[in-house]
Structure 1
Amino acid sequence: QLEAQLEALQCHFTWDLDPGRKKLLSIIDRLQDIGTEEGNFWLGQVYNLQGYIHFLLGSADEAKSFFSRAAEAFRRMREPDEGPWLLVNYGNQAWLHHRQGEEAESRACLSKVEALMEEYPSPSEDELHPEVYAEKAWTLRNFGRKKQRLAADIFQRAMRMQPDVVEWQTSYVLGLTSLFKHSDTGLEGDDWEKMSQAKEQDPENLFLAAKYLQQLAKKGESVKDEARELATRVLRNPVGSYSGIKPLLMVYRFYVSTDEGVKLAARLWKNTQTTVI
């Protein structure tokens, strides 16, 4: 019966996420660069995924530590501190305890899931909580092109149910740019409209801003001035996977000037060394 209850959970352990050690290590490296500063909207999801990957890589203690950090991050970010955004985390913890033979602890986590489901019932029997959809979609985005298509569909479900969460919309359109990154003309039609809206609603997201310039440039627009302006903003921020520097350097390489791109990269390198020292 316990096994059946665990299988029914929505969490990393039931989402078919085991692409092999090499891919897992690559994801871990990328997640470590995302930035764990206060205010990172996806911090809880980052820790949840890190915990699950550490479990797959054989470190249950690391997994437990990251799952605890995830729960704490969600509580700090949300009001009230208990809600459906913890369903995935409690599910992960239930599975981890079960895999370690700690059945009493596993059942305790299952009880927490049941209590949350009772207090915050999903909108309908055949739908999950939008928070669960969003975390699942964000997680799937990290596992390659095939999963990214599914992630886009799941994000759309979350946004239909809760259309006012800017970060979900941003993550959704960033997923679209990954799906169509080999397109010569960039996003088109409704997808392009959604990206434009996301940029307006999330103006401080420099990664999104850089991706937006990439898309504009693919459409034949001149983006040199905008790229230089964005570079000054990026230089003021810590370098990481989502600082915007990687897509911005691509914009420089193909649409501004290779020489300027090299100089920008050098300035960023100098900034990181100064920060480390």
Structure 2
Amino acid sequence: MDSLSHVMKQHRTYIVPIKNADEVKGKLLQLRCHFTWELLVEDTEMPDLENRILDEIEFLDTKYNAGIHNLLAYVRHLKGQTREALESLKEAEDLIQQEHGDRSAVRSLVIWGNYAWLYHHMGRLAEAQTYLDRVANTCEKFAAPSCYRLDCPQMDCEEGWALLKCGGKNYERAKACFEKALAAEPANPEFSTGYAITIYRLDGFNKATQVSDAFCLQPLKEAIRLNPEDAYIKALLALKLQDVGQEAEGEKYVEEALTNMSSQTYVFRYAAKFYRRKGALDKALQLLKRALRATPSSAFLHHQMGLCYKARMIQIKRAANWQPRGQDRDNVDKMVRLAIAHFQFALEQKPTFDVAYIHLAGMYIEAGNHRKAEDIYQKLLCLTSLDEEKQQKGHFHYGQFQEFQKKSEVNAIIHYLKALKTEKVSLTRDKCINSLEKLTLRRLSRNASDIESLSILGFIYKVKGEMNKALEYYEQALRLAVDSGNSGT
């Protein structure tokens, strides 16, 4: 009987993949889970993403734990670690049972979808079908229009958390997910928390206007109202209040967060950032070192350490009237070396960390090592993961390097113009316009008949919306070009 069962089992697993593979794949594509959410993550970002997920599991005190284990399962699948991925899904399943008990079916849909996809990738279609059946039964119970897809706020929230954790390219979609969930349940603490964090992250990308700063405050305050013990959200609100000039109020929230034992490693990170920006560098470094003991591979923490040492270097130079000598010079050099070490480590952990490249290049400039600064800028500008705004920032800073360190006005102009190709309003764009205008006027002061400089100045005024001035300079350039052509030169 045992041998017959064995033969039948072998026969079944042999026949099913051939007969039902396409049918199963069609069902899988209807599921709402990590395999169908099109999470945009660069291969080079994977180690940092996994580190951040593991840190969150260990150090972030939250009621919403199952989702992060689901995401870890997906990341492990991408790394080819199938057994570990299945273990992560089992942990997610156990947490759902603990947290939701009898109401766990909807919360389990993402887990079952991930199981189905994993077994499909393993070629175990019978097991994949088992989990598809569980999804179908639940969808039927809730009268969903589709057998394998349930649209409900809990599912929107799960998708939102996954997108949020996977980085900036996914934030707008995460925001839409949490907005949809909140439209159904406006007072849900989990939806409110997810939305507030997403808006905070997006605001970091959109510093062009104070409107976005003000808009971000209300969601954070609402999240705290619904989650009064959430120290992590309080730390984020403190930073946002500091952004809008309400530092004293922000510090109250930081102190509240620091007295709470919840999520301390995360609170230390953001409290340190708050105190660094306030100028309290000793306190910031103390908090960062405490956080680093728990999460030594954090790219965020090493970047913040580098920024603290950079700020300390500036303090020393300012006190020495920008001409440090003797012990001051030694201390400046030490701060530069420490900053470089931390920025480099951050980039080893997260090779797509665009702003860390800019800060590292700046420290090499400070050290007088222009060759290394050039290498760093080249690496930054070659990153395929950069969106338009980050490319703009990279070209602007590289233009500054060309203008002031390499003394190449031509190369500076090339990169300022590349930065201005991105039409999105930003502080970087404003700085770029000002730098290009100053450089062009300087060139014209040396040669008032420089056709190229006149054309560039026309372009600058066009970008600024000053069309009369733009036409004036364009016409000057055109007249000179015509005269030059007529004279045969």
Tell me if TM exceeds 0.5. yes
Counterpart pick for 1:78 among 100, 106, 110 = 100
- Shift of residue 192, structure 1, vs aligned partner: 2.6
Residue 82 of structure 2 corresponds to residue 69 of structure 1? no
CA distance in 2, matches of 1:105, 1:38: 33
User: Greater shift after overlay, 58-67 or 156-165?
Assistant: 156-165
SS of 1:181 mapped into structure 2 = helix
Counterpart pick for 1:153 among 173, 176, 180 = 176
Counterpart pick for 1:226 among 241, 252, 255 = 252
State the match for 2:232 in structure 1: 207
User: 1:226 corresponds to which letter in structure 2?
Assistant: K
Deviations 1:230-258 (A, max 9, x none): 36425x45644xx3221111111112512
**CA 1:165–1:256: 2 relative to 1, 3 Å:** farther
State the match for 1:98 in structure 2: 120
User: 1:248 corresponds to which letter in structure 2?
Assistant: A
State the match for 2:200 in structure 1: 177
State the match for 1:255 in structure 2: 278
State the match for 1:52 in structure 2: 74
Superposition RMSD in Å: 2.8
SS of 2:128 mapped into structure 1 = helix
What aligned pairs does 1:7-46 form with structure 2 within 5 A after superposition? Answer: 7-17=29-39, 19-36=41-58, 40-46=62-68
- Shift of residue 94, structure 1, vs aligned partner: 0.5
- Shift of residue 225, structure 1, vs aligned partner: 4.5
CA distance in 1, matches of 2:60, 2:257: 23
Deviations 1:122-142 (A, max 9, x none): 599997121111000110012
State the match for 1:2 in structure 2: 24
CA distance in 2, matches of 1:173, 1:202: 12
**CA 1:36–1:131: 2 relative to 1, 3 Å:** farther
Structure 1 spans left out of the alignment, 5+ residues: none
Deviations 1:71-128 (A, max 9, x none): 1111111141532111111000011111111111111000000111112235999971
State the match for 2:154 in structure 1: 131
Structure 2 spans left out of the alignment, 5+ residues: 1-22, 297-489
State the match for 2:166 in structure 1: 143
**CA 1:81–1:225: 2 relative to 1, 3 Å:** closer
State the match for 1:167 in structure 2: 190
Deviations 1:169-213 (A, max 9, x none): 112111111111152747445543222211222121111101101
Return the structure number with greater helix share.
2
Alignment TM-score, normalising by the size of structure 1: 0.87
Residue 242 of structure 2 corresponds to residue 217 of structure 1? yes
Residues 55, 295 of structure 2: 8 Å contact kept: no
Count of residues in correspondence between the two structures: 270
CA distance in 2, matches of 1:12, 1:266: 34
Alignment TM-score, normalising by the size of structure 2: 0.51
CA distance in 2, matches of 1:271, 1:66: 22
Residues 74, 81 of structure 1: 8 Å contact kept: no
Counterpart pick for 1:89 among 111, 114, 120 = 111
- Shift of residue 20, structure 1, vs aligned partner: 3.2
User: 2:154 corresponds to which letter in structure 1?
Assistant: E
Identity of aligned residues (%): 23
Residues 195, 219 of structure 2: 8 Å contact kept: no
CA distance in 1, matches of 2:45, 2:179: 26
**CA 1:124–1:189: 2 relative to 1, 3 Å:** farther
